[in-house]
Protein backbone atom coordinates (compact mmCIF):
# COMPACT_ATOMS: atom_id res chain seq x y z
CA UNK A 1 0.00 0.00 0.00
CA UNK A 2 1.17 3.49 -0.82
CA UNK A 3 1.67 5.51 2.35
CA UNK A 4 -0.02 8.86 2.21
CA UNK A 5 -0.15 11.32 5.09
CA UNK A 6 -2.24 14.48 5.17
CA UNK A 7 -0.16 17.38 6.26
CA UNK A 8 -1.84 20.44 7.66
CA UNK A 9 1.10 22.85 7.85
CA UNK A 10 4.80 23.31 8.54
CA UNK A 11 4.53 22.06 12.15
CA UNK A 12 2.84 18.78 11.31
CA UNK A 13 4.57 15.71 12.81
CA UNK A 14 4.41 14.04 9.39
CA UNK A 15 7.17 16.37 8.22
CA UNK A 16 9.64 15.05 10.81
CA UNK A 17 8.83 11.51 9.84
CA UNK A 18 9.31 12.40 6.16
CA UNK A 19 12.67 14.03 6.91
CA UNK A 20 13.78 10.82 8.66
CA UNK A 21 12.89 8.80 5.57
CA UNK A 22 14.84 11.21 3.35
CA UNK A 23 17.92 11.08 5.58
CA UNK A 24 17.93 7.30 5.44
CA UNK A 25 17.94 7.35 1.64
CA UNK A 26 14.19 7.07 1.00
CA UNK A 27 11.86 8.88 -1.39
CA UNK A 28 9.16 11.30 -0.24
CA UNK A 29 6.71 13.05 -2.56
CA UNK A 30 5.76 16.50 -1.33
CA UNK A 31 3.71 19.50 -2.47
CA UNK A 32 5.25 22.66 -3.87
CA UNK A 33 3.45 25.73 -5.20
CA UNK A 34 3.89 24.42 -8.78
CA UNK A 35 3.51 20.63 -8.87
CA UNK A 36 4.29 17.75 -6.49
CA UNK A 37 7.98 16.83 -6.31
CA UNK A 38 9.56 13.39 -5.85
CA UNK A 39 12.15 14.18 -3.20
CA UNK A 40 15.40 12.55 -2.17
CA UNK A 41 18.43 13.68 -0.18
CA UNK A 42 20.19 15.74 -2.84
CA UNK A 43 23.63 14.97 -1.40
CA UNK A 44 23.09 11.20 -1.42
CA UNK A 45 23.85 9.76 -4.88
CA UNK A 46 22.17 6.39 -4.15
CA UNK A 47 18.97 8.13 -3.07
CA UNK A 48 19.01 10.30 -6.20
CA UNK A 49 19.58 7.16 -8.30
CA UNK A 50 16.30 5.81 -6.91
CA UNK A 51 14.51 8.89 -8.30
CA UNK A 52 15.81 8.07 -11.78
CA UNK A 53 14.80 4.42 -11.43
CA UNK A 54 11.31 5.12 -10.13
CA UNK A 55 10.55 7.76 -12.75
CA UNK A 56 12.16 5.87 -15.63
CA UNK A 57 14.11 9.07 -16.21
CA UNK A 58 16.99 9.08 -18.71
CA UNK A 59 20.37 9.46 -17.00
CA UNK A 60 21.05 12.47 -19.27
CA UNK A 61 18.33 14.54 -17.59
CA UNK A 62 19.52 16.35 -14.43
CA UNK A 63 17.32 17.13 -11.41
CA UNK A 64 16.60 20.35 -9.54
CA UNK A 65 17.94 20.86 -6.00
CA UNK A 66 15.42 22.50 -3.69
CA UNK A 67 16.79 24.76 -0.97
CA UNK A 68 15.29 26.83 1.84
CA UNK A 69 17.56 29.85 1.58
CA UNK A 70 19.89 31.84 -0.63
CA UNK A 71 22.80 30.81 1.60
CA UNK A 72 22.17 27.12 0.90
CA UNK A 73 21.92 27.84 -2.82
CA UNK A 74 25.22 29.71 -2.77
CA UNK A 75 26.96 26.68 -1.25
CA UNK A 76 25.84 24.57 -4.21
CA UNK A 77 26.99 27.01 -6.90
CA UNK A 78 30.62 27.74 -7.77
CA UNK A 79 29.63 31.20 -8.98
CA UNK A 80 26.85 33.40 -7.70
CA UNK A 81 26.50 36.31 -10.13
CA UNK A 82 24.75 39.57 -9.25
CA UNK A 83 21.77 38.48 -11.40
CA UNK A 84 21.28 35.41 -9.24
CA UNK A 85 21.27 37.53 -6.12
CA UNK A 86 18.72 40.09 -7.30
CA UNK A 87 16.47 37.44 -8.85
CA UNK A 88 16.55 35.34 -5.67
CA UNK A 89 15.85 38.44 -3.57
CA UNK A 90 12.85 39.23 -5.74
CA UNK A 91 11.38 35.82 -6.59
CA UNK A 92 12.44 33.35 -3.87
CA UNK A 93 10.72 31.58 -2.35
CA UNK A 94 8.85 31.08 -5.62
CA UNK A 95 8.55 29.32 -8.97
CA UNK A 96 11.92 30.36 -10.41
CA UNK A 97 14.72 27.82 -10.93
CA UNK A 98 18.22 29.17 -11.54
CA UNK A 99 20.85 27.17 -13.42
CA UNK A 100 24.38 28.00 -12.27
CA UNK A 101 27.85 26.44 -12.41
CA UNK A 102 27.81 23.68 -9.77
CA UNK A 103 30.07 23.61 -6.73
CA UNK A 104 31.98 20.47 -5.72
CA UNK A 105 29.22 19.75 -3.18
CA UNK A 106 26.77 18.70 -5.92
CA UNK A 107 26.89 14.97 -6.73
CA UNK A 108 27.46 14.13 -10.39
CA UNK A 109 24.15 12.25 -10.70
CA UNK A 110 22.20 15.39 -9.72
CA UNK A 111 23.87 17.24 -12.62
CA UNK A 112 23.58 14.24 -14.99
CA UNK A 113 27.35 14.57 -15.25
CA UNK A 114 27.18 18.15 -16.51
CA UNK A 115 28.89 21.25 -15.11
CA UNK A 116 25.78 23.12 -13.89
CA UNK A 117 23.12 22.70 -11.24
CA UNK A 118 19.48 23.84 -11.14
CA UNK A 119 18.46 25.49 -7.85
CA UNK A 120 15.06 26.49 -6.60
CA UNK A 121 13.58 27.70 -3.32
CA UNK A 122 9.90 26.65 -3.37
CA UNK A 123 7.13 28.83 -1.93
CA UNK A 124 5.17 26.15 -0.13
CA UNK A 125 5.23 25.96 3.67
CA UNK A 126 5.35 22.15 3.65
CA UNK A 127 8.19 22.00 1.12
CA UNK A 128 10.21 24.59 3.04
CA UNK A 129 9.60 22.86 6.37
CA UNK A 130 10.66 19.53 4.88
CA UNK A 131 13.92 20.95 3.47
CA UNK A 132 14.60 22.56 6.85
CA UNK A 133 13.83 19.40 8.81
CA UNK A 134 16.07 17.31 6.54
CA UNK A 135 18.82 19.93 6.77
CA UNK A 136 19.78 19.07 3.18
CA UNK A 137 18.98 20.28 -0.31
CA UNK A 138 16.30 18.01 -1.75
CA UNK A 139 16.61 16.66 -5.27
CA UNK A 140 13.08 16.69 -6.65
CA UNK A 141 11.76 16.34 -10.16
CA UNK A 142 8.02 16.33 -10.71
CA UNK A 143 6.54 13.21 -9.09
CA UNK A 144 5.37 11.45 -12.25
CA UNK A 145 6.75 8.82 -14.58
CA UNK A 146 9.09 10.33 -17.16
CA UNK A 147 7.24 12.08 -20.04
CA UNK A 148 3.86 11.80 -18.33
CA UNK A 149 1.63 14.50 -16.86
CA UNK A 150 2.93 16.30 -13.80
CA UNK A 151 0.97 15.76 -10.56
CA UNK A 152 -0.97 18.64 -9.04
CA UNK A 153 -2.42 16.63 -6.14
CA UNK A 154 -1.35 13.68 -3.98
CA UNK A 155 -3.74 11.31 -5.77
CA UNK A 156 -1.93 11.91 -9.07
CA UNK A 157 1.35 10.89 -7.43
CA UNK A 158 -0.17 7.76 -5.94
CA UNK A 159 -1.60 6.63 -9.27
CA UNK A 160 1.56 7.40 -11.24
CA UNK A 161 4.26 6.12 -8.86
CA UNK A 162 2.31 4.20 -6.22
CA UNK A 163 4.32 1.97 -3.94
CA UNK A 164 7.65 2.99 -5.42
CA UNK A 165 7.52 6.04 -3.12
CA UNK A 166 8.11 5.54 0.61
CA UNK A 167 5.74 8.33 1.62
CA UNK A 168 3.48 10.90 -0.01
CA UNK A 169 2.80 14.10 1.91
CA UNK A 170 -0.65 15.31 0.96
CA UNK A 171 -0.87 19.09 1.18
CA UNK A 172 -3.88 19.44 -1.12
CA UNK A 173 -3.89 20.69 -4.71
CA UNK A 174 -0.99 22.89 -5.83
CA UNK A 175 -1.60 26.57 -6.59
CA UNK A 176 0.26 27.41 -9.81
CA UNK A 177 -0.27 24.05 -11.51
CA UNK A 178 2.60 24.48 -14.01
CA UNK A 179 6.29 23.80 -13.35
CA UNK A 180 8.70 26.59 -12.41
CA UNK A 181 10.36 28.92 -14.89
CA UNK A 182 13.94 27.74 -15.50
CA UNK A 183 16.50 30.45 -16.14
CA UNK A 184 20.03 29.51 -17.18
CA UNK A 185 22.59 31.93 -15.74
CA UNK A 186 25.58 29.67 -16.42
CA UNK A 187 26.31 30.98 -19.91
CA UNK A 188 27.17 34.33 -21.44
CA UNK A 189 23.51 35.42 -21.69
CA UNK A 190 20.58 34.76 -19.38
CA UNK A 191 18.35 32.24 -21.13
CA UNK A 192 14.95 30.77 -20.28
CA UNK A 193 15.11 26.99 -20.70
CA UNK A 194 11.51 26.38 -19.66
CA UNK A 195 8.81 29.07 -19.48
CA UNK A 196 6.72 28.99 -16.33
CA UNK A 197 4.73 31.07 -13.86
CA UNK A 198 7.34 33.84 -13.85
CA UNK A 199 7.16 35.54 -17.25
CA UNK A 200 10.12 36.70 -19.36
CA UNK A 201 9.01 40.32 -18.85
CA UNK A 202 9.15 39.88 -15.05
CA UNK A 203 12.76 38.69 -15.36
CA UNK A 204 13.73 41.28 -17.97
CA UNK A 205 12.39 44.06 -15.77
CA UNK A 206 15.06 43.14 -13.24
CA UNK A 207 18.08 41.86 -15.18
CA UNK A 208 17.49 43.20 -18.69
CA UNK A 209 16.88 41.15 -21.85
CA UNK A 210 16.62 37.37 -21.52
CA UNK A 211 16.77 34.87 -24.37
CA UNK A 212 14.07 32.29 -24.79
CA UNK A 213 15.33 28.86 -25.74
CA UNK A 214 12.75 27.40 -28.10
CA UNK A 215 14.56 24.37 -29.38
CA UNK A 216 13.73 20.83 -28.53
CA UNK A 217 15.72 17.70 -27.98
CA UNK A 218 14.57 14.42 -29.44
CA UNK A 219 15.04 11.04 -27.79
CA UNK A 220 18.60 9.74 -27.75
CA UNK A 221 20.12 13.05 -28.81
CA UNK A 222 22.86 14.57 -26.71
CA UNK A 223 21.10 17.17 -24.61
CA UNK A 224 22.51 20.67 -24.96
CA UNK A 225 19.71 21.91 -22.74
CA UNK A 226 18.92 18.77 -20.82
CA UNK A 227 15.44 17.48 -20.36
CA UNK A 228 13.86 19.55 -23.05
CA UNK A 229 12.42 16.55 -24.85
CA UNK A 230 9.82 17.54 -27.38
CA UNK A 231 7.26 15.03 -26.18
CA UNK A 232 6.65 15.58 -22.48
CA UNK A 233 3.83 16.26 -20.04
CA UNK A 234 1.65 13.93 -22.09
CA UNK A 235 -1.69 12.39 -21.11
CA UNK A 236 -2.61 8.87 -22.23
CA UNK A 237 -5.39 10.20 -24.45
CA UNK A 238 -4.42 11.63 -27.81
CA UNK A 239 -4.26 15.41 -27.53
CA UNK A 240 -4.95 17.69 -30.50
CA UNK A 241 -4.76 21.47 -30.60
CA UNK A 242 -7.19 23.46 -32.75
CA UNK A 243 -7.84 27.15 -33.40
CA UNK A 244 -10.07 28.87 -30.86
CA UNK A 245 -13.75 28.44 -31.66
CA UNK A 246 -12.95 25.86 -34.37
CA UNK A 247 -15.20 23.19 -32.91
CA UNK A 248 -15.39 19.72 -34.42
CA UNK A 249 -17.23 18.43 -37.46
CA UNK A 250 -17.27 14.82 -36.44
CA UNK A 251 -15.73 12.64 -33.82
CA UNK A 252 -15.51 8.97 -33.07
CA UNK A 253 -14.69 7.29 -29.77
CA UNK A 254 -14.84 9.11 -26.49
CA UNK A 255 -13.86 12.69 -27.24
CA UNK A 256 -13.65 15.79 -25.05
CA UNK A 257 -13.43 19.31 -26.45
CA UNK A 258 -11.96 22.02 -24.26
CA UNK A 259 -12.98 25.58 -25.14
CA UNK A 260 -11.33 28.75 -23.86
CA UNK A 261 -13.80 31.50 -22.98
CA UNK A 262 -16.63 30.10 -25.13
CA UNK A 263 -17.75 26.69 -26.27
CA UNK A 264 -18.80 26.22 -29.93
CA UNK A 265 -21.62 23.84 -30.88
CA UNK A 266 -20.28 20.28 -30.82
CA UNK A 267 -21.29 16.99 -32.44
CA UNK A 268 -23.46 14.72 -30.34
CA UNK A 269 -21.55 12.60 -27.88
CA UNK A 270 -18.60 14.97 -27.57
CA UNK A 271 -18.09 16.20 -24.01
CA UNK A 272 -17.70 20.00 -24.02
CA UNK A 273 -15.57 21.53 -21.26
CA UNK A 274 -15.39 25.27 -20.80
CA UNK A 275 -12.32 26.89 -19.26
CA UNK A 276 -12.04 30.64 -18.68
CA UNK A 277 -9.92 32.75 -21.03
CA UNK A 278 -7.49 33.34 -18.17
CA UNK A 279 -3.95 31.96 -18.37
CA UNK A 280 -3.43 31.63 -14.62
CA UNK A 281 -6.72 29.84 -14.06
CA UNK A 282 -6.11 27.45 -16.95
CA UNK A 283 -2.52 26.83 -15.78
CA UNK A 284 -3.77 25.90 -12.33
CA UNK A 285 -6.37 23.53 -13.75
CA UNK A 286 -4.94 21.97 -16.91
CA UNK A 287 -3.00 18.96 -15.56
CA UNK A 288 -5.80 18.00 -13.18
CA UNK A 289 -8.28 18.18 -16.05
CA UNK A 290 -6.12 15.98 -18.29
CA UNK A 291 -5.66 13.50 -15.42
CA UNK A 292 -9.44 13.39 -14.94
CA UNK A 293 -10.10 12.83 -18.64
CA UNK A 294 -7.51 10.02 -18.71
CA UNK A 295 -9.07 8.41 -15.65
CA UNK A 296 -12.50 8.68 -17.23
CA UNK A 297 -11.24 6.79 -20.28
CA UNK A 298 -11.36 9.50 -22.96
CA UNK A 299 -9.53 8.49 -26.16
CA UNK A 300 -9.01 11.96 -27.51
CA UNK A 301 -8.92 15.46 -26.08
CA UNK A 302 -9.26 18.41 -28.43
CA UNK A 303 -8.01 21.63 -26.89
CA UNK A 304 -8.29 25.14 -28.22
CA UNK A 305 -4.89 26.71 -28.82
CA UNK A 306 -4.17 29.44 -26.24
CA UNK A 307 -3.72 33.06 -27.38
CA UNK A 308 -0.29 34.15 -28.61
CA UNK A 309 0.55 36.66 -25.89
CA UNK A 310 3.19 36.21 -23.21
CA UNK A 311 0.72 35.44 -20.42
CA UNK A 312 0.05 32.10 -22.15
CA UNK A 313 3.68 31.25 -22.97
CA UNK A 314 4.15 28.48 -20.39
CA UNK A 315 0.82 26.92 -21.24
CA UNK A 316 1.52 26.98 -24.98
CA UNK A 317 4.86 25.27 -24.28
CA UNK A 318 3.29 22.48 -22.18
CA UNK A 319 0.39 21.89 -24.58
CA UNK A 320 2.69 21.76 -27.58
CA UNK A 321 4.82 19.12 -25.86
CA UNK A 322 1.79 17.24 -24.55
CA UNK A 323 0.31 17.06 -28.05
CA UNK A 324 3.55 16.01 -29.78
CA UNK A 325 3.02 12.52 -31.11
CA UNK A 326 5.30 9.69 -30.05
CA UNK A 327 8.42 9.46 -32.21
CA UNK A 328 8.54 5.99 -33.82
Binding site for ligand TXA (CB under 6 A): 32, 34-35, 37, 61-64, 95, 97, 99, 111, 114, 116-118, 120, 122, 140-142, 179-180, 182, 193, 225-227
Nearest-angstrom CA–CA distance, 148 and 302: 18
**CA end-to-end span of the chain, whole Å?**
35
**3-state SS assignment for residue 112:** coil
Q: How many Å is the maximal CA-CA distance in the chain?
A: 61
Alpha helices (H) along the chain: 13-23, 45-55, 70-76, 82-91, 108-111, 125-134, 154-161, 200-207, 279-295, 313-323
Give the residue among 154, 155, 95 at the shortest CA–CA distance from 119.
95
Of 44, 72, 116, 142, the one binding Mg ion by CB under 5 A: 142
Least distance to ligand TXA from the beta carbon of 320, Å?
15
Closer residue to ligand TXA (CB): 226 or 283: 226
Report which DSSP code applies to 166: S
Least distance to ligand TXA from the beta carbon of 237, Å?
21
Closer residue to Mg ion (CB): 200 or 227: 227
Q: Is the dihedral of CA 44, 130, 182, 179 positive or negative?
A: positive
Nearest-angstrom CA–CA distance, 151 and 36: 6
**3-state SS assignment for residue 288:** helix
Does 180 help bind Mg ion (rule: CB under 5 A)?
no
Closer residue to ligand TXA (CB): 117 or 266: 117
Question: Residue 323: phi, psi to the nearest 5?
Answer: -100, 0
Least distance to ligand TXA from the beta carbon of 276, Å?
23
193 interacts with, out of ligand TXA, Mg ion, none, CB within 5 to 8 A per kind = ligand TXA
The C-alpha angle with vertex 127 and arms to 126 and 129, in degrees rounded to 5, equals: 65
Closer residue to ligand TXA (CB): 140 or 260: 140
37 interacts with, out of ligand TXA, Mg ion, none, CB within 5 to 8 A per kind = ligand TXA
Does 152 help bind Mg ion (rule: CB under 5 A)?
no
**3-state SS assignment for residue 215:** coil
Least distance to Mg ion from the beta carbon of 150, Å?
5
Does 97 help bind Mg ion (rule: CB under 5 A)?
no
Least distance to ligand TXA from the beta carbon of 95, Å?
6
Closer residue to ligand TXA (CB): 99 or 234: 99
Closer residue to Mg ion (CB): 142 or 152: 142
Cβ atoms of 287 and 151 within 8 Å: the answer is: yes
Closer residue to Mg ion (CB): 44 or 147: 147
Stretch of 109-117, 127-135, 141-149, 156-164 contacting Mg ion, by CB under 5 A: 141-149
19 interacts with, out of Mg ion, ligand TXA, none, CB within 5 to 8 A per kind = none
Nearest-angstrom CA–CA distance, 81 and 72: 15
Closer residue to Mg ion (CB): 142 or 181: 142
Question: Residue 14: phi, psi to the nearest 5?
Answer: -60, -30
% helix, strand, coil for the chain, step of 5 = 30, 20, 50
Stretch of 26-34, 66-74, 138-146, 284-292 contacting Mg ion, by CB under 5 A: 138-146
Nearest-angstrom CA–CA distance, 300 and 261: 21
Least distance to Mg ion from the beta carbon of 162, Å?
17
- Give contact residues for Mg ion (rule: CB under 5 A): 142
Amino acid sequence: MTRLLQVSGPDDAAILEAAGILLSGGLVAFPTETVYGLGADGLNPEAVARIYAVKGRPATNPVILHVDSVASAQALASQWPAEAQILADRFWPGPLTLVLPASAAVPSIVRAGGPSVALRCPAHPVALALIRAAGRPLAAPSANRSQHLSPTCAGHVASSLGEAVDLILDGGPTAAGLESTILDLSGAHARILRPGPIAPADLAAIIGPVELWEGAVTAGELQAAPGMAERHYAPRARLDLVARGAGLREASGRVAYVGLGTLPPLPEGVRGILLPLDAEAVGARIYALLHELDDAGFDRVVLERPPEDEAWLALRDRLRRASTKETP
